[in-house]
Chain A
Amino acid sequence: MSSGSFAAAWAVLPEYLGQHVLLSISALALGIAISLPLAIAAAHSRRLREPVLAFASIVQTIPGLALLALFYPILLAISAVTIQAFGMRVPALGFLPALLALTLYSMLPILRNTIAGLIGLDESVTTAARAVGMTAWQSLRIVELPLAAPVIMAGIRIAAVWVIGTATLSTPVGQTSLGNYIFTGLQTENWIFVIFGCVAAGALALVIDRLLALAESGFARRSRIRLLGAFVGVVLVVGASLYPLSGSRREQVMIGAKNFEEQYILSALMADRLDKAGIAARQRSDLGSTIIFHALEAGDIDAYVDYSGTIWANHMHRTDNPGRAAVLAQMAPWLKAHNIAYLGPLGFANAYVLAMRRDRAQALGVRSLADLVAHAPAMKIGGDYEFFSRPEWTAVVKAYGLHFAVQRSYQPTFMYRALNDGDVDVIAAFSSDGRIAQYNLFLLADPKSALPPYDAVLLVSAKRARDKKLIAALKPLVGKLDLSLMQRANLMVDRDNRTPEDVARWIDSQIRH
Chain B
Amino acid sequence: MVSPSRGTCCMIRFENVSKSYRKGHAVLRGLNLEIAEREFAVLIGPSGCGKSTTLSLVNRLTVPTGGAVLMDGVDIAHTDPVILRRHIGFVFQSIGLFPHLTVTENIGITPRLLGWRIQEISARIRELMEMVRLPSAYAERLPRHLSGGEQQRVGLARALAARPKIMLMDEPFGALDPLVRDELGGEYRVIHDRLGLTTVLVTHDMTEGLLLADRIVVMREGEIVQRGSPRDLLRSPADDFVRAMIESPRRRAERLNQALSLGAPA
Contact = CB atoms under 8 A, between A and B. Distances in A.
B109 A132 contact: yes
Among A122, A128, A143, max chain B CB count under 10 A is at: A128
B158 interface: yes
Contacts of A440: none
Contact of B100 (A124, A134, A222): A222
Contact of B85 (A125, A130, A143, A147): A130
A121 to B, nearest CB: 10
B46 to A, nearest CB: 22
Looking at chain A, what size class is its interface with the partner chain? Answer: 10 to 19
A133 B94 contact: no
Contact of B96 (A127, A133, A135, A147): A127
> Looking at chain A's contact residues, is the secondary structure mostly helix, strand, loop, or mixed?
helix
Contact of A132 (B83, B95, B100, B110): B110
B98 A125 contact: yes
B90 interface: yes
Given A129-B98, A133-B110, A146-B100, A124 B92 contact: yes
A147 B83 contact: no
Contacts of B82: 133-135
Nearest to A129: B98
Nearest to A149: B100
Contacts of B84: 133
B71 to A, nearest CB: 15
Contacts of B95: 124
Contacts, number: 55
A138 interface: yes
Contact of A128 (B83, B98, B113, B114): B98
A257 to B, nearest CB: 54
Given A130-B61, A132-B109, A125 B96 contact: yes
A329 interface: no
A128 B110 contact: no
Interface residues of B, number: 22
Interface in A120-167: 122, 124-125, 127-135, 138, 142-143, 146-147
A128 B100 CA distance: 14
Contacts of B86: 132-133
A144 to B, nearest CB: 10
A199 to B, nearest CB: 40
Given A132-B86, A133-B110, A135-B82, A127 B92 contact: yes
Contacts of A142: 98, 109
B213 to A, nearest CB: 22
A131 B169 CA distance: 12
Among A125, A143, A147, max chain B CB count under 10 A is at: A125
A146 B95 CA distance: 19
B265 interface: no
A252 B218 CA distance: 85
A131 B85 contact: yes
A131 B155 CA distance: 12
Contacts of A128: 90, 92, 96-98
Nearest to B60: A130
Nearest to B98: A143
30 contacts: A124-B92, A124-B94, A124-B96, A125-B96, A125-B98, A125-B99, A127-B92, A128-B92, A128-B96, A128-B98, A131-B59, A131-B61, A131-B92, A131-B96, A132-B85, A132-B90, A133-B82, A133-B84, A133-B87, A134-B113, A138-B113, A142-B98, A142-B109, A143-B98, A143-B100, A146-B100, A147-B98, A147-B99, A147-B100, A222-B100
Given A125-B96, A131-B59, A142-B109, 5 more contacts: A128-B92, A128-B97, A132-B86, A143-B100, A146-B100
